[in-house]
Homo-oligomer: A and B are copies of this chain.
Amino acid sequence: MTTTATTARERMLLAKEASRTVGLLDDARKTEALHAIADAIERAADEISAANGEDLERGRATGLSTALQDRLRLDVPRISALATAVRDIAALPDPVGRILDERTLPNGISLTKVSVPFGVVGSIYEARPNVTVDIAALALRSGNAVVLRGGSAAERTNAALIRAMRGALADQGIDPEAIQTVDDFGRDGARELMQARGLIDVLVPRGSAQLIETVVTESSVPVIETGAGVVHIVLDESAPLEWARDIVVNAKVQRPSVCNSVETVLVLSDAASRLIPPVVEALQAQGVTVHGDDVVAGLADGIVPATEEDWATEHLSLDISVRVVDDLDEALDHIRRYSTHHTESIITRDEANAERFLAEVDSAVVMANASTRFTDGGEFGFGAEVGISTQKLHARGPMGLPELTSTKWLARGVGQVRG
């Protein structure tokens, strides 16, 4: 199911038009449509896989790194996993039509605040074809049309996925223009998306810090900033060794390439000689390179000297920065300076330190005695994750389906006028 629109703007206009009818679909219709999409993706597995093969071949020819090739790869098991993810989203409660506030004014006017779809959600992301399906399904579940702009390296794969999804909508009698791509317009498509005030209600970038920075600074449509995580763990004097070691290792090693993995450990000086040797040893045993300051280097072997740049770096690899600080004040100062306001955790038995940390750290998720890897929509019980917002407007932290809705006030009167 391809569109007749020939410009990025025309596609966005069609999405806007489609958003009117999609926004009025009830729970059952949206659920059916999502099942139809999952089925269509599975039916089109060969075609999707062939398109992905072309993208991969082009990627190899143009020197795409092995890691990026792996993110781009969509074999049959991964295609099945995509369909399963869509069915999981279909099973989530409809976030539209929730009554969020009700009040009757003294003059008798009844006011109701209800959740409504945004209208058109835009997304700019990198060459991860799973995001194409994920965002489209989340948008439809929440009654939104969607305009997608994926990485050019995945262009053919995305086109095949979008064709399958649009076909499924058309089969269900739903306007297929509710799912759009501007991939084929290259950078101009992305630029038009970022400037489409009145057509795009919210834009969600997903990808590297640099991509997000570009979208935030170049967009005139409202953006939800997601992702970048220079994440800290603080170990204080009272931190049990077992918690400190297990949490730091888990937060670094379990999946180093994601935003909620820890990048910097701050150890209060009173705890340094007790905790640094075993924690560093446990990290090194898992293949982690430890970048440390002089005190750390004096307490453990194999330390790479930490540079100023390390403190500000989201390694996203088996690298970690470790610094000894005088006290909790200095730890909080360090976090204020280098944190990207994603997630920070303190490991402590001291209730006062824990509560002070929870109150004063200005991040989306602030933890005491837990692995930063728990900052995740799935772990939080949201059933799906749109992204992790690191801004303070609209949504902060893991975003679920309700974060893809706006609100509307309905007022019902019997002729009241203002006195």
Judge if A185 is at the interface, Cβ distance under 8 Å. Answer: no
Judge if A201 is at the interface, Cβ distance under 8 Å. Answer: yes
Size bracket, chain A contacts: 35 or more
Contact of A411 among B368, B393, B396 (CB under 8 A): B368
> Interface 1/0s, chain A 90-104, versus B by CB < 8 A?
000000000000010
Contact of A365 among B371, B398, B411 (CB under 8 A): B411
Q: Is the CB of A393 within 8 A of B247?
A: no
Give complex CA distance A338, B398 in Å.
36
Q: How far is the CB of A413 from chain B (nearest CB, A)?
A: 3
Residues of B close to A367: CB separation below 8 A:
410-413
Q: Is the CB of A217 within 8 A of B216?
A: no
Q: A222-B392, A358-B410 are in contact. Are A373 and B243 (CB under 8 A)?
A: no
Q: Is the CB of B216 within 8 A of A417?
A: no
Q: Is the CB of B392 within 8 A of A393?
A: no
Q: A354-B412, A379-B418 are in contact. Are A393 and B396 (CB under 8 A)?
A: no
Q: How far is the CB of A189 from chain B (nearest CB, A)?
A: 20
Residues of B close to A257: CB separation below 8 A:
none
Judge if A362 is at the interface, Cβ distance under 8 Å. Answer: yes
Q: Is the CB of A417 within 8 A of B201?
A: no
Q: Is the CB of A411 within 8 A of B374?
A: yes
Give complex CA distance A364, B379 in Å.
33
Q: Is the CB of A366 within 8 A of B409?
A: yes
Q: A362-B119, A392-B202 are in contact. Are A254 and B418 (CB under 8 A)?
A: yes
Q: Is the CB of B222 within 8 A of A417?
A: no
Judge if A360 is at the interface, Cβ distance under 8 Å. Answer: yes
Q: Is the CB of A408 within 8 A of B363?
A: yes
Q: A111-B380, A220-B217 are in contact. Are A397 and B409 (CB under 8 A)?
A: yes
Judge if A9 is at the interface, Cβ distance under 8 Å. Answer: no
Q: Is the CB of B360 within 8 A of A24?
A: yes
> Interface 1/0s, chain A 29-53, versus B by CB < 8 A?
0000000000000000000000000
Q: Give the nearest-CB partner of A201 in chain B.
A: B392
Q: Is the CB of A359 within 8 A of B24?
A: yes
Give complex CA distance A417, B379 in Å.
12
Residues of B close to A201: CB separation below 8 A:
392-393
- Complex interface residues of chain A between 343 and 392 (CB less than 8 A to chain B): 345, 347, 354, 358-360, 362-371, 373-375, 379-381, 391-392
Judge if A105 is at the interface, Cβ distance under 8 Å. Answer: yes
Give complex CA distance A410, B361 in Å.
10
Q: A392-B118, A394-B394, A416-B371 are in contact. Are A409 and B364 (CB under 8 A)?
A: yes
Residues of B close to A316: CB separation below 8 A:
none
Residues of B close to A415: CB separation below 8 A:
240, 242-243, 246-247, 347, 369-370
Judge if A250 is at the interface, Cβ distance under 8 Å. Answer: yes
Residues of B close to A220: CB separation below 8 A:
216-217
Q: Return 26 A-B CB contacts under 8 Å, by A number.
A: A103-B380, A105-B374, A109-B374, A118-B392, A119-B392, A197-B216, A201-B392, A202-B393, A222-B393, A250-B417, A254-B417, A347-B415, A363-B408, A365-B409, A366-B409, A366-B410, A366-B411, A367-B410, A368-B411, A370-B411, A370-B413, A370-B416, A374-B411, A392-B406, A396-B406, A397-B409
Ranked 4 nearest A-B pairs via Cβ: A370-B413, A250-B417, A392-B406, A243-B415
Further contacts, 9 of them, CB under 8 A, given A222-B392, A368-B411: A20-B362, A105-B379, A222-B222, A222-B223, A358-B410, A367-B413, A368-B412, A369-B414, A370-B412
